[in-house]
Amino acid sequence: MHLYRQGWSFFLFLCMCGAICESFHYSVPEEKKSGSLVANVLKDLKVDVKELVNRRARLVSEGTKQYFQLDPQSGNVIVHERIDREALCDQKDLCILTAEIVLENPLQVQRIEVEIEDVNDNSPQFSKKEYHFKIPEQVPMNTRFPLETAEDSDKGDNAVQNYTLSPNGHFTLDVKSRRDGSKYAELVLQRQLDREENAQLFLILSAVDGGTPKRTGTMNIVIDVLDTNDNFPQFGDSLYKVKLRENTPRGTLVTKVEATDRDFGSFGEITYFFSQVPKNVLKAFSLNKHTGELTVAGSIDYEEERNYAINIEATDGGGLSAYCQVMVEVEDRNDNAPEVTLTSLTSPLPEDSPSDTVVALFRVTDRDSGDNGRTACTTEASLPFLLKKSVNNYYQLVTQQPLDREKDSEYNITVTATDGGSPRLTSTRIINVQISDINDNAPVFEKSTYEMQLWENNIPGLLIGLIQAKDLDTEQNSKVTYSLLPGEVSDQPASSYVSINSETGNLYAIRSVDYEQIKEFQVTVRAVDNGSPPLSSEVIVRVVIMDENDNAPFILYPLQNGTSPSNDLVPRGAEAGYLVTKVVAVDRDSGQNSWLSYELLKATEPGLFSVGAQNGEVKTMRPINKRDSLKQKLIIGVRDNGHPPQSTSATLSILLVDGFSDPYMKSVDVPKDEMVQEEDRTLTMYLVICLAVISFIFLVSAVVFVAVKIQKRRKFIASSTVNFPVGPNYPENYEDVDSGSLSRAYNYEVCLAGGSLNSEFRFLRPLFPVFSVEPSQNQGIQKMSTGSQEVPSHAAEGQLMSEARGAVSEDAAARAGGPSCAGNQAITANANIGQNDWLAYQ
């Protein structure tokens, strides 16, 4: 029923509202304590307390919460529950709670409105406790930074009325009102920010409301000052001084440069660079761009660079730079050996250079400095050179003793240079000095005299031997040429006999020689070197002619010309061993070639005669018989001992006569003896005359011969082309009496090379063989036209002598009145004499 009543009442209320609805209006502050009086409704309801109770007045709230109560005993409306305006109405400007006071009998519903008044029960509030700003340090002054507004749930004056900022050096606060009257604040920069001074600012922003008491809300403002590159890097030192030994290995730390930058991050990050450094620095050093470590990167050579000035730039990330300089002073080490530099050298040096001749000029240098570069210089003491120091580390090498190229043809002079460093360094240089030749040595023959042998009958142009001279000098000074000195060989120029090859020293025979004519000769050979002036020496060359068995034995007796065969007479009464005659033969060769032996080749009566093998004596072997014929003929062979032997034969006619008395052995009586003596004296006288005549003729012919010779020589000298009659020469002295035979008669036309040393024979050829002996050379001698060149002219001479003797003995025989056999006997003796003479000559 109650519900019904309520619903109905409410219906009434709605109905009445249109007509009589006029509500009572009250107000009460929020947050009042329960029981607090809101208003007394008695007056407004125009009822008293009794009626109020009687009519069971009560208060009906809308909604579930009963914020108010009606006290019927007093008619007071009191707060029943806590009222929070902000909770009920939020930010509405008017916050009204409604309720009805319901009276029964008669039902009366009176609407009441209670306005909830705001009380400052809320503080301003910021959405965050802390607010972060990032502001670059370089922002200009008066830049504004709007701040967040604070919220206050309270309304009106209780809402935020102002903002304040904690004291600080940089910002002020500018508070402004919006159109709606709300306030907001901005930060205004009053002083430049500096990150390096204060990287973060802490501010407190307070919002104040207008209540009483005032309530505040705060917020922390954190300002991060952002860095700008406002600081240059800075070096601790603007100049670094470093001493560095040369040859420091690569990678060695030289120094470390360091720059700082107060900026932050990349602006404070420093990189190091070389700044405009020359190439040699770049080669020698490297710089770590991050750490600033300067290290050795190349060779550090004091001799090349003593100082380095290295500019280093430090740059931060913002491109700001600072500079410093590293002065590197290189310290010397003894790393260079002295050097010997040859300035001039006299090589080859003539061996006759006098003492103190400058051979070499050189300089000793050392690239190091100080003691390391102080040098001294020495050379071997044993050499004939002396070192002379002159100014400015120049040295002269001079000769000290005479030189002899033939002893030492070159010198290797070691020059040793030492420096004063520690350890010392040394270097050596070998100066090679050649000694040049001076023609100070004459050619020297290998032998003091030469003796050579030459077989006779040699072919022209035959090599006789070799003559050698050595010259101790070199090259042209030692080039020896040979020449024959003018000289005579048997009245002929020596050059017609031999010639010498001017270069090889070979000695050649120019013509064929005849031992029987000339047994030896000597020539003088001169050796001349090619120096200037030339030196020469001479040697005597003796050429000994060797005999060949080229002459057959020649029978002197008995005469063999066949026209007047001579008979030897043998008395029939002769006993065995009777010396009949003696075969006399000669051989113009010598030695063995002239040893003759005789033998009986053929006899009319074999066994009657014998021939002495050695002496050629023909003797009877037995007494002569009656039967032995009157005429006996013997052929006797004569042979020499040569190889091969030559032989000839003689024919001997012997008459066996009766009554012939042997003059030596038998018929020796006084008158006869006196007569014979008389005869002998006469004979001797004739012989002497004969000899004198022969000698005279010989002398005359010799004189004529010499005259002709001289005449010829003049012609020869005039024309230098000469006819050499090589063959027959008339004997000119006794020794040559047995020579002069025409063994090989050739005429040579010899064109002697005038002064030429190179050719032995320019031209040498036989013209024609001559078989006849020139009369001029065989004056007074029977002209021979034998047609054979082998017939010795000597034979003619022998024949002449024999004929002369024969004439004498015939004369004597005629005067003696005896038969010619006596003459023959005498001839035998003479022949013996002749032979003896002959042999004596030999």
Rounded Cα distance, 284 and 281, in Å = 5
Place of tokens 């040893």: 595
> Between 414 and 759, whose beta carbon lies closer to ligand NAG?
414
> Between 90 and 410, whose beta carbon lies closer to ligand NAG?
410
Least CB distance from residue 472 to ligand NAG, whole Å?
17
Rounded Cα distance, 141 and 190, in Å = 6
> Between 432 and 759, whose beta carbon lies closer to ligand NAG?
432
> Between 252 and 432, whose beta carbon lies closer to ligand NAG?
432
Rounded Cα distance, 12 and 603, in Å = 233
Rounded Cα distance, 666 and 664, in Å = 6
Place of tokens 């050596």: 428
Cβ-proximal residue to ligand NAG, closest one? 412
Length of the chain: 842
Of 374, 378, 389, which is closest to residue 424 (Cα–Cα)?
374
> Between 383 and 757, whose beta carbon lies closer to ligand NAG?
383
**C-alpha 488: how far from its chain's center?**
61
Fill in the DSSP letter of residue 353: P
Vertex 507 angle, CA 501 and 513, to 5° = 130
Of 478, 342, 482, 481, which is closest to residue 405 (Cα–Cα)?
478
Rounded Cα distance, 582 and 561, in Å = 17
Rounded Cα distance, 829 and 806, in Å = 11
Q: Any alpha helices (H) in 530-669, and if so which ranges?
A: none
> Between 209 and 437, whose beta carbon lies closer to ligand NAG?
437
User: How far from each other are the two terminal CA atoms of the chain, in whole angstroms?
Assistant: 219
Rounded Cα distance, 62 and 481, in Å = 168
Cβ contact 32:24 at 8 Å: no
> Between 360 and 781, whose beta carbon lies closer to ligand NAG?
360
> Between 403 and 545, whose beta carbon lies closer to ligand NAG?
403
Least CB distance from residue 446 to ligand NAG, whole Å?
28
> Between 399 and 501, whose beta carbon lies closer to ligand NAG?
399
**Whole-Å CA distances, 782 to 773, 779, 789:** 10, 8, 15
Residues that bind ligand NAG (CB under 6 A): 410, 412, 432
> Between 412 and 661, whose beta carbon lies closer to ligand NAG?
412
Least CB distance from residue 411 to ligand NAG, whole Å?
6
Q: Which of helix, strand or coil describes residue 824? A: helix
Cβ contact 507:464 at 8 Å: yes
Least CB distance from residue 415 to ligand NAG, whole Å?
14
> Between 223 and 360, whose beta carbon lies closer to ligand NAG?
360
Place of tokens 């009963």: 66
> Between 430 and 839, whose beta carbon lies closer to ligand NAG?
430
**C-alpha 344: how far from its chain's center?**
20
Question: Residue 151: CB partners within 8 Å, gap ≥ 6?
Answer: 124, 125, 126, 127, 160
Vertex 37 angle, CA 34 and 39, to 5° = 140
- Nearest-Å Rg of the Cα atoms of the chain is 85
Least CB distance from residue 278 to ligand NAG, whole Å?
45
Least CB distance from residue 493 to ligand NAG, whole Å?
50
Q: Which helix (H) or strand (E) holds 815?
A: helix 793-816
Of 233, 366, 367, which is closest to residue 292 (Cα–Cα)?
233
Q: Which residues face 567 on adjacent strands? A: 653
**Phi and psi for 654 in degrees, rounded to 5?**
-125, 135
> Between 432 and 667, whose beta carbon lies closer to ligand NAG?
432
> Between 40 and 346, whose beta carbon lies closer to ligand NAG?
346
650 burial class (0-12, 13-18, 19+ CB within 10 angstroms)? buried
